[in-house]
Amino acid sequence: MDYEVCRKVWDSQIAAQITIQNRDEILPFYTMLPRFSYFSVVLQDILQFFTSRDNELNLDGEKIWLESKGVPLKMYIPIGVIFDLNNEVEGDTWHIVIKTSNAPSGYRTINRETMEQIYLQNLKEADFLKRKAETIQNMQIDEHRMLWDSICNNHFDDFWGINKKLMDTSDKMFDSIPLRVYERNRPAFKQTLLNPRNDSGELVTVGHAICQLLAISEILPTSTLISHGIRIPAETPLIYAAKNLTYPDNFVHICVLKND
């Protein structure tokens, strides 16, 4: 594990300005949102902030939905991924509106417990891809809970203490790399089995993997690969990315943005 990179990746944050729909008299909430967390997790704190500000404000955690620039925000995708997907400019503060009106159809408000389950599911999927889920199945429930708690409470050391086991390739190489590719304006991500090494034994690069995924010949210079808010060089080995540039669910989420 590349400590420096992992650490910086974990500490990445987004400046956010949160307001409430139709309540302009309430001063907005300014906060730094951690990229690796989920809206389901931070929403509680945001709401608590607002209610402490104004006791009469009654925001039901089950009924509200989040929107930015008119786009509903998915709660089950890491915050960093959503930001990268929706925003072009890195330096701006993200305007998020808490909407109390009816959510659009298909929108699911996820609470924290459900998010935990989704997270663990993703984690198991990633480990299955990597080594047929041997490691995660050998892990105890306490360790799963600790992983989730360290995400909720921003404990880097606790998290990587357990995550190390999932990233261990001293024994043998991963079978395949968990990678999800997002494209703007595309609803879902793309995912496929990707070998860390190609036939000739060389490490597969990220650009190569994405080409393989998107079925394109090469990465055009107009497209940028964004993950964690930074441009990932195409020649980064996939295995390197899998170990150091993953989100807590052990997936590498990359957004392909076209520079128009």
What is the binding site for other proteins (CB under 8 A)? 2, 4-5, 8-9, 11-13, 15, 29-32, 49, 52-53, 90-91, 93, 228-233, 235-237, 240, 245
Query: Which residue number, 27 or 71, has a Cβ lying nearer to other proteins?
Result: 27
In the chain, DSSP assigns E strands to 13-20, 29-34, 65-68, 71-72, 94-99, 179-183, 223-227, 230-231, 252-258
For 5, 69, 93, 203, 221, the CA distances from 99, given in Å and listed in that order, are 36, 12, 18, 46, 38
Shortest gap between Cβ of 179 and other proteins (angstroms)?
16
Q: Which two tokens stand for residue 185?
A: 């304006």
Phi, psi of 20 (to 5 degrees): -110, 140
Query: Which residue number, 18 or 136, has a Cβ lying nearer to other proteins?
Result: 18
Sheet holding 252-258, edge to edge: 179-183, 252-258, 223-227, 230-231
User: Rounded CA gap, 70 and 31, in Å?
Assistant: 20
Shortest gap between Cβ of 132 and other proteins (angstroms)?
24
Shortest gap between Cβ of 4 and other proteins (angstroms)?
7
Under 8 Å between Cβ of 166 and 250:
yes
CA-closest candidate to residue 248, choices 136, 117, 159: 159
Query: Which residue number, 92 or 134, has a Cβ lying nearer to other proteins?
Result: 92
Shortest gap between Cβ of 126 and other proteins (angstroms)?
21
Query: Which residue number, 74 or 243, has a Cβ lying nearer to other proteins?
Result: 243
Query: Which residue number, 35 or 74, has a Cβ lying nearer to other proteins?
Result: 35
Query: Which residue number, 92 or 113, has a Cβ lying nearer to other proteins?
Result: 92
Q: Bridge-partner residues for 237, per DSSP?
A: 205
Shortest gap between Cβ of 92 and other proteins (angstroms)?
10
Shortest gap between Cβ of 15 and other proteins (angstroms)?
5
